[in-house]
Structure 1
Amino acid sequence: MTIQSINHVQLPFPAGAEGPVRRFYASLLGLPEVRLKADNTLRFAAGTQRIDLVPIEPWQPHPSVSHLALEVQDLPALRQRLLQAELPLVENRALPGYLRFYVKDPAGNQLEFLEPDHEQGVTP
């Protein structure tokens, strides 16, 4: 048995916050929404994987150490789009060989965005 890849990750969001969550993942991040069945789960394609967001009531945020890391192309463009949306970014955690930052989605889930930095001369 070998594990081939991650199929999906599941994150919580407060019930009733579908609009802001959908805008964040679809509009700001540009992920296509995937409709699988008629339930309240929001699903977005991230390459061949999915990010599933499940409404939770009563709402309890995740600990800040939990996060989802997404490798992207053109990190500066995504950074600019998120800054234009007035989202606070955390950019003080260097990682050799990568450009990266963190941002929280509307539910408070922490997301890490990173891209290999070939100019650093480090092979990730």
Structure 2
Amino acid sequence: MDIVGLDHVQLAMPRGGEEKAREFYGRFLNLLEIPKPEGLIGRGGCWFAVPGVQLHLGVQDDFIPASKAHPALLVRDLEALYARLMAADVVVIRDEAVQGVHRFYALDPFGNRLEFIQDGNGFSQEAPL
């Protein structure tokens, strides 16, 4: 048995948060919303395509934002995204703890932690398998 990749990452969101998710992930971050399988539509939530992986937002009735666990998204222009998030009053936290990895954290509309890393500086880009 060999693990060959990562298919998707799931974040939780509160029931009824689909439009906020679409606004932030789809229109603000420019991620493409992809259709959920027919058998899962009734559960709520929405899915987005990220190159090479999917980001699923699933409804959790006893929702608590993920304040530590998070996806790390590679971006082409980290500083432009930082400025755009700040201008939109999104909570943004700089993190320069790792030399050579240019990144920051931001909170989605539900309070989930997201990490954004400059493409070319990601942890997986530093150490090939």
TM-score under structure 2 length normalisation? 0.81
Structure 2 partner of 1:55: 59
Structure 1 partner of 2:12: 12
Contact 1:15 1:56 in 2 (8 A): yes
Report the secondary structure of 1:3's partner residue: coil
Match runs of 1:58-97 below 5 Å: 58-62=62-66, 64-97=67-100
Structure 2, unaligned runs of 5 or more: none
How many corresponding residue pairs? 118
The amino acid across from 2:37 in the alignment is: K
Following TM superposition, by how much is the alpha carbon of 1:36 offset from its aligned partner in structure 2, in angstroms? 2.8
1:103 maps to 2:109: no
Contact 1:100 1:114 in 2 (8 A): yes
Q: Root-mean-square deviation (CA), in Å?
A: 1.7
Following TM superposition, by how much is the alpha carbon of 1:82 offset from its aligned partner in structure 2, in angstroms? 0.9
The amino acid across from 1:98 in the alignment is: V
Structure 1, unaligned runs of 5 or more: 118-122
Report the secondary structure of 1:66's partner residue: coil
Report the secondary structure of 1:50's partner residue: strand
Higher share of residues assigned helix: 2
Contact 2:105 2:115 in 1 (8 A): yes
C-alpha distance 65-58 of structure 1, shift in aligned 2 (>3 A): closer
TM-score under structure 1 length normalisation? 0.84
Give the Cα–Cα distance (whole angstroms) in 2 for the partners of residues 71 and 95 of structure 1: 16
Contact 1:28 1:81 in 2 (8 A): no
The amino acid across from 1:59 in the alignment is: F
